[in-house]
Chains A and B, each alone.
Chain A
Amino acid sequence: MGKKTCNVKINGTNCQAEEGINLVEACLQQGIIIPTLCYLKDLNESGACSVCLVEVKGAKTLLRACVTKVRDGMEIYTDTERIRRARKVVVELILANHPKDCLGCEKNQNCDLQRIAYELGIENIRYPKTRQKDFSIDNSSPSIIRDPNKCILCGRCIEVCSKIQEVNAIDFIKRGHAMQVSTFFDGGLGNSECTNCGQCVLVCPTGALAENNSIGEVWRVLDDKEQIVIVQTAPAIRAAIGEAFGFNTGVPTTGKLAASLRRLGFSKIFDTQFAADLTIIEEGSEFLTRLKNNDKIPTITSCSPGWIKFGETFFPGILDNISTCKSPQQMFGAIAKTYYAQKMNIDPRKIKIISVMPCTAKKFEALRPEINSAFSFWKDKLALSKKEYFPDVDYVLTTRELIRMIKEAGIDYANLADEGFDDPLGVSTGAATIFGASGGVMEAALRSAYFYLTGTELKDIELNAVRGLSGIKEASLEIAGKKIKVAVAHGLGNARKLMQQVARGESPYHFIEIMACPGGCIGGGGQPLPVNDEIRKLRIKALYQEDRSLAYRRSHQNPAVIKLYSEFLKKPNGHLSHKLLHTHYHKRQPVKI
């Protein structure tokens, strides 16, 4: 049914708008951008910040555009002296209590508050600071730092965490000047249900939320000439990093990415996609075994550490269904510090693995004690003492952190000649590339499962049913006379729906892919800002385009992975695989208080 349209006048021009939409959207349709700090379309309409003030004829006061609905005959003004003055007052009042240390702020140049203050021409702040005591910074999480002093109480993070992710780790506490966003009993994100997904970081209009930065540590290891510093980059990086260097959204810059990493001084430029192919072999074989024995079905993917912590916290009863495969990041670390070290005759203690991930939760994942296995592999062989312990992955950088490093090093990214990844752990297939998009792991797994079950290659390998941005996607596929039903969910709120089915024993599926972040890794909490559905779609397109351009598009065809099995692992799900590439999960208390 069509909605009624209203005749309205915006800044003197007659136009039409759909009844009931708010004035921010109505003005946007006419090409007028109203400044907003708290408003997030369809998600946050709390009217908390008041920066979106507009004048409506007949109204006594200025109105907040984001919470005012269009009515027939409305006359709206967005650009009068009165509005300009009022918006300035609003932002100055916000800034009165704000630290204003933009120079050292993680969000510098990506900050809505900073941008709007500049656009409104704010020069000095006429109001005194009213907050008496500064808040303490929450650095309890390995993934995310929260600085409540920079928070403008817009509520976006709370809405994303509760409505999209359905984690509810954070909420407003107290009131007046003591009001802030916090976790249960102020225990900090690291002691809460927080899954480290970083979706709150993506929507925060200020530097109150930012990743726990590892740039300093990475420079330090790069400067240490004794170390062999290896980098791996996740599929989603190539689809997005160009945005920070003037490329249009959706233009993959894989060759420049590899070239820039070489300029930064990494000794080997490897690809997490190698490990993604490996994951498909391990996970695919595990799935087929489970399918044969009708055991632990549905099998649920395990690549997304935000999802894993979510499952451990809210669905402890279904942990057996989750694939025991480590994520590609961790498989890479384990293989680089065992197989590659052995093959190249390098002391594993000298290898440092740096991951570039679209994800804040990967920082948490790398610290999980049970996920690290290269040390135990070498422990007896090299008679290592406990003090010499090393993790499989040493440091995790988000895409945003890598962008800062490239800029700091003065590398002219846009004009670099394309280069490739190094052998052998830089070899990958198109199946691995699409891991970065929601549905990609499922598609890649089915491309290989089909081959394993039938001995022939799946011809039509593009599985459109599991692509795209709808929250839960389903498909069924006839393989060797058996109907395989699969489902894909992205965003933890959608994951919750599928998991409730599994917990009740009513899931109709054989295989489920879960990604914590809406859109999959291309929309990860560590990706360049901003992230919205338009941008997600374009980044996804970039990955599918890469997939189509590659010689190998099925993980089981990856020659380097085939070699890894013949030289080292012997067989999928074999003894060594289990030691190095598989892990386990444990039930978690929602909060540690």
Chain B
Amino acid sequence: MKYSLTKHRPEKIKDRLRIDNIISRHKDTPGELLNILEETQILSKYNYLSPAQLKYIAEKTSYPLSVVYSVTTFYSFFNLKPQGEHCIIVCRGTACHTKGSRRILDYLESVLDFGDEKINEGEKVFLTTKDKVITIKTVACFGQCALAPVVEVDGIIHSRMTVEKMKKVLSALKKKGLK
């Protein structure tokens, strides 16, 4: 298991003061770590927690790094990779799959510019366009199988999605992030 060091080179923490402020408000309160992490993520530019931020928080709160990482990977609320401004979640449940959710993913992959990253068969998808405008993800099931295939765009569920409809949704996102 080789970890790419360059990919996550700790960026300069410009928001150090902001994190200090968040910590000072939550220190020694119940659930302090969760609250600190949550606010830090919300206030960070691409809505995610970077290794550098997590290291800083661990150092300042005296929580072990492994515990901080454990918490951030346990709750699906936390993102450890940069998020685009817009988020498209494609359901990969059985019903959606049989109704063609794969075609929608393929379409998204063909028109969005993810740089070198691509969708790997059988793995959870989490890709953000190079310009950090659009993130696409998959979920195992939204529990809306009657409406399959289901796609969520910025929190709004779109039912019976087709490639044609997806095209319209994308252009409504102001054509940002397109190849």
Chain A residues near B10: list those with CB within 8 A: 593
Task: Find out whether the CB atom of B74 lies under 8 angstroms from the CB atom of A173.
Answer: yes
Contact B70 A173 (CB under 8 A): yes
Q: Which of A164-172, A273-281, A362-370, A460-468 contacts B (4 or more CB under 8 A)?
A: A164-172
Whole-angstrom distance between the alpha carbons of A175 and B2 in the complex? 22
> Complex Cα distance A173/B71, Å?
7
The answer, among B3, B51, B64, B73, for a CB contact under 8 Å with A174, is: B73
A187: chain B residues at CB < 8 Å are 3
Q: Return A156 CB to nearest CB of chain B, in Å.
A: 15
Residue B8 is within 8 A (CB to CB) of chain A in the complex: yes
Name A187-214 residues within 8 Å CB distance of B: 187-188, 191-193
Q: A173-B69, A173-B74, A175-B74 are in contact. Are A162 and B64 (CB under 8 A)?
A: yes
Q: Judge whether A137 is part of the interface by a CB distance below 8 angstroms.
A: yes
Whether A168 pairs with B1 at a CB distance below 8 angstroms is: no
Beyond A193-B65, A590-B65, A593-B51, whether A188 also contacts B1 by CB under 8 A is yes
Contact A168 B64 (CB under 8 A): yes
Known: A139-B1, A592-B5. A185 touches B67 (CB 8 A): no
Total A-B pairs, Cβ < 8 A: 70
- Near B by CB (< 8 A), chain A positions 102-151 give 132-133, 136-140
- Give the distance in Å from the alpha carbon of A170 to the alpha carbon of B69 in the complex: 10
Q: A174-B73, A591-B55 in contact; A183/B123 too (CB < 8 A)? A: no
A239 and B155 CA atoms in complex are apart in Å by 65
Partner of A138 from B1, B69, B70 at Cβ < 8 Å: B1
Q: Which residues of B contact A591 (CB under 8 A)?
A: 55, 65
Minimum distance in angstroms from A572 CB to a CB of chain B: 41
Q: Which residues of A contact B70 (CB under 8 A)?
A: 171-173
CB-based contact A185/B8 at 8 Å: yes
Q: Answer yes or no: A184 CB below 8 A from chain B CBs.
A: yes
Interface membership of A79, Cβ < 8 A:
no
Judge whether A188 and B66 touch: CB under 8 Å.
no
* Residue numbers in A under 8 Å from B65 (CB-CB): 168, 183-184, 192-193, 590-591
Asked if A419 is at the interface (CB within 8 A of a chain B CB), the reply is no
In the complex, whether A347 has a CB less than 8 A from a CB of chain B is: no
Assign chain A's interface to a size class. Answer: 20 to 34
Interface size bracket, B side: 20 to 34
Q: Any chain A CB within 8 A of the CB of B31?
A: no
Contact A173:B122 (CB < 8 A) given known A592-B5, A593-B3: no
Tell whether, in the assembled complex, residue A168 and residue B67 are in contact, meaning their CB atoms are under 8 Å apart. Answer: yes
Given A171-B69, A173-B73, A184-B66, decide whether A137 and B1 contact each other with a Cβ distance below 8 A.
yes
A171 touches B64 (CB 8 A): yes
Partner of B3 from the list A133, A137, A172, A186 (CB cut-off 8 Å) is: A186
The interface bits of chain B over 1-42 (1 if a CB of A lies within 8 angstroms of the residue's CB, else 0) are 111010010100000000000000000000000000000000
Residues from chain A with a CB closer than 8 A to the CB of B68 are 184
Known: A133-B122, A591-B55, A593-B51. A170 touches B66 (CB 8 A): yes
Which residues does chain A contribute within 8 Å of B3, judged by CB atoms? Answer: 140, 185-188, 191, 593
Q: How far is the CB of A161 from chain B (nearest CB, A)?
A: 8
A185's partner among B64, B69, B74, B122 (CB-CB below 8 A) is B69
Min distance, Cβ A492 to any Cβ of chain B, angstroms: 13
Pick the contact of A593 from B1, B5, B123 — CB < 8 Å? B5
A452 and B156 CA atoms in complex are apart in Å by: 81
A168 contacts B122, CB within 8 Å?
A: no
With both chains docked as a complex, state the minimum distance between the C-beta of A90 and any C-beta of chain B, in angstroms: 24
Question: For A593, what are the chain B residues with a Cβ–Cβ distance below 8 Å?
Answer: 3, 5, 8, 10, 51, 55
Give every chain A residue within 8 A of B2 (Cβ-Cβ). 140, 188
B73 CB contacts on chain A under 8 angstroms: 173-174
Within 8 A of A (CB), among B125-172: none
A191→B73 CA distance, assembly (Å): 19
Please indicate the chain B residues that have their CB under 8 angstroms from the CB of A186 in the complex.
Answer: 1, 3
A137, A591, A592: most-surrounded residue (chain B CB, <10 A): A591
Across the interface, which residues of A come within 8 angstroms of B54, CB to CB?
A: 184-185
Q: When the two chains form their complex, are residues B5 and A168 in contact, meaning their CB atoms are under 8 A apart?
A: no
In the complex, residue of chain A having the shortest beta-carbon distance to the beta carbon of B3: A187
10 other contacts beyond A184-B68, A188-B1, with CB at 8 A cut-off? A137-B1, A172-B74, A173-B73, A182-B66, A184-B69, A185-B8, A185-B54, A188-B2, A591-B65, A593-B3
Closest 4 CB pairs of A and B: A168-B64, A171-B66, A171-B70, A184-B65
Pick 30 A–B contacts, CB within 8 A, sort by A: A137-B1, A140-B1, A168-B67, A171-B69, A171-B70, A173-B70, A173-B73, A173-B74, A174-B73, A175-B74, A182-B66, A182-B69, A183-B65, A183-B66, A183-B69, A184-B51, A184-B65, A185-B8, A185-B51, A185-B54, A185-B69, A186-B1, A187-B3, A188-B1, A188-B3, A191-B3, A193-B65, A591-B65, A593-B3, A593-B51
